[in-house]
Amino acid sequence: MRTRRPGTGRACASAPRFGAAQQGFTLVELMVVIVIIGLMSGAVVLTMADPRGRISGDIDRFAGRVRAARDDAVISGRAVALWVSPTAYGFEQRARGQWQPVREGPLASQDWSGGASADLGSAGQARIVFDSVGRADQPLRFVLRRDDQQVTLRMDLDGNVSSGD
């Protein structure tokens, strides 16, 4: 087939035909796309959180809130109490001569997440009071359980929380 070269008016033997040889994708291109999709899927699965949360998340939240309560007792110069029950924990502050539960903010009561429960022994509930210098009136020890996970939590007189199996 003879075609004319644009702009010259002359005929050329054959003009390259684009598109005929470029139909579809090569096997290498398809494999690269599949590998990229696999890597992205793996990254998404690894970053997805367990909807129940891990028991370590409960421990971290509990420890952070205990530190905040201790610091609040020091800053405000007023005692702050921590209570722990099998299903939840929370804080109370002295106001007008009596203990009042903290209802909002970081010291509001919190349920253990994902069906976790605290085993406090025969007492059933624990209560610790931080004085105005941040010292606890007694140490605390209990076991936090969820499904097959179990962690022992300890709090010393300085309000430092540690955990171990």
**Domains parsed from the chain with CATH numbers:** 3-47 (no CATH), 55-164 (3.55.40.10)
Digit-coded pLDDT (tens) for 97-137: 899 999 988 899 999 988 889 998 887 889 999 999 999 99
Asked if residue 129 lies in contact with residue 105, where contact means CB atoms within 8 angstroms, the answer is: no
pLDDT score of 88: 93
Cα–Cα distance, 28 to 131 (Å, whole number): 69
Q: Provide the β-strand partners of residue 155.
A: 140, 161
Q: pLDDT tens digits, residue range 22-47?
A: 678 899 988 999 999 988 888 887 77
- For 54-68, the pLDDT digits (tens) are 788 888 888 899 999
CA distance 158 to 165: 22
pLDDT for position 115: 84
Distance of CA 65 to the CA centre of its chain: 15
What is the rounded average pLDDT for all residues in the chain? 84
Provide the pLDDT for residue 3. 59
**pTM for this entry:** 0.65
CA quadruple 141, 144, 149, 154: dihedral sign: negative
